[in-house]
Amino acid sequence: MGYKIPLFDLNFDEAEALAAYEVIKSGWISTGPKCLEFENRFSSMLNVEHAVSLANCTVALHLALEIGGIGPGDEVIVPSLTFVATVNAVRYTGATPVFADVISAENPTIDPKQIKLLTNERTKAIIVMHYAGFPCQMDEIMEYARDWNLFVVEDACHGPLSEYRGQKLGTIGDIGCFSFFSNKNISTGEGGMLVTNNTDYAQTAKLLRSHGMTTMSYQRASGHATEYDVLRLGYNYRMDDIHAAIGLAQLDKIKADLEKRAKVRQTYLEYLAAFSEVTVPFGEHKEFSSNYIMPIVINGVGKERRDTIREAMHARGVQTSVHYPAVHRFSIYRNEKIKLPMTEAITDSILTLPFYANLSNDEVRFVCDSLAETLR
């Protein structure tokens, strides 16, 4: 608020309001037909067998690891250049997160070479995070994971509809996890989805999202069931129909939104080409991407200078962000033995510029001019 150009703008209008209103009027507001419809449309959009709607992506990551059999004594390899939830999810299971470095400023995704170096007999899983909607090196990671029998979870929060060699992100590993938090490509306020081609995994996800119970209230209310058993220790990780209806309205818009984003990114790339001191992650990438955010790396600057640049941009009315403060530096994960030189260089010199579908050409130019003035 108060910025001339905010970091993000919600793609909401009457359609979302009406969708929520209709669910409220229907009298059934918790998990029910809208969740099912949202799941069906999401899975067909991604060409994946199963989608299970959930309260958010953090719980999707937790369920994914639990379904993968991850528990105390196990190690899970994770990136540090991600949102903290990617790593916290490992801790929920009692397992230990092991941080892997990223490849480079051009490709700030988990480095397959680091994954190999960090693997030992306790390693059970890898969580990859498709940074900004651009793919991790999935061919190499999947081949290695199959050889070593490692479970692969894709944190695909940034990449709905992004592709890697023709496959949608989130559908390549064992389980993919998506977020519909308000600032994501698809927004429902809070919301998440777990996707998989494995029917057992999907059934377990449905069981665990609802207390481990064999039936849900909607089935009982609609007369399809009268009793339930509790098979396993589950949770309340469900989405509700109000959020699902908003999600359906968002799915109507997602393709057009992503096409506009691709154009905005192109405009950015044209202006940023003049900045010799700036590296644009995935600047040369050609495959379809959700273009979730517009990060740039200002080569050679440290955290102090980067933060000064941020403040100067803010003074010009341009909101910026940092994706991400490295997770391994947070108090709960800090450990002098962790060495991630590439992640540390990137986290101190990266800056996220405003990005959303309706950002105009003039606004992009204003952001880039502000950056130029600030760097001078």
Ligand X SMILES: *Cc1c(COP(=O)(O)O)cnc(C)c1O
Stretch that binds ligand X, among 51-59, 111-119, 235-243, 349-357 (CB under 6 A): 51-59
Distance (Å, whole) CA 87 – CA 125:
12
Least distance in Å: CB of 324 to ligand X? 8
Q: How far is CA 227 from CA 216, 231, 293, in A?
A: 10, 13, 46
- Which of 57, 70, 100, 136 is in the footprint of ligand X by CB under 6 A? 57
H or E element that contains 99: strand 96-100
Contact status: 350 vs ligand X (CB under 6 A): no
Site for ligand X in 216-255 (CB under 6 A): none
- CB atoms under 10 Å from CB of 60, counted, come to 32
Q: Smaller CB distance to ligand X: residue 169 or 301?
A: 169
Q: Smaller CB distance to ligand X: residue 126 or 368?
A: 126
Q: What are phi and psi of 99, to 5 degrees?
A: -80, 130
SS3 90: helix
- The residue assigned the tokens 């988990």 is 110
Which of 124, 184, 206, 253 is catalytic? The answer is 184
Please give the structure tokens belonging to residue 127.
């969580």
Contact status: 109 vs ligand X (CB under 6 A): no
Q: Which of 107, 160, 162, 161 is nearest to 295 (CA)?
A: 107
Q: Would you list the DSSP string of 340-376?
A: -HHHHHHHHHEEEEP--TT--HHHHHHHHHHHHHHH-
Active site residue 168: no
Stretch that binds ligand X, among 150-158, 272-280, 339-347, 355-363 (CB under 6 A): 150-158
Per-residue binding letters, 80-99, with ligand X (x by CB under 6 A): --xx-xx-------------
Contact status: 58 vs ligand X (CB under 6 A): yes
Cα 116 to the chain's mean position, in Å?
24
Least distance in Å: CB of 368 to ligand X? 25
SS3 335: coil
Q: Smaller CB distance to ligand X: residue 50 or 158?
A: 158
Least distance in Å: CB of 233 to ligand X? 21
Q: Smaller CB distance to ligand X: residue 126 or 301?
A: 126
Stretch that binds ligand X, among 78-86, 120-128, 166-174, 220-228 (CB under 6 A): 78-86
Q: What are phi and psi of 122, to 5 degrees?
A: -90, -15
Residues that contact ligand X, how many (by CB under 6 A): 14
List residues with catalytic annotation: 184
Name the site residues for ligand X (rule: CB under 6 A).
56-58, 82-83, 85-86, 129, 155, 157-158, 179, 181, 192
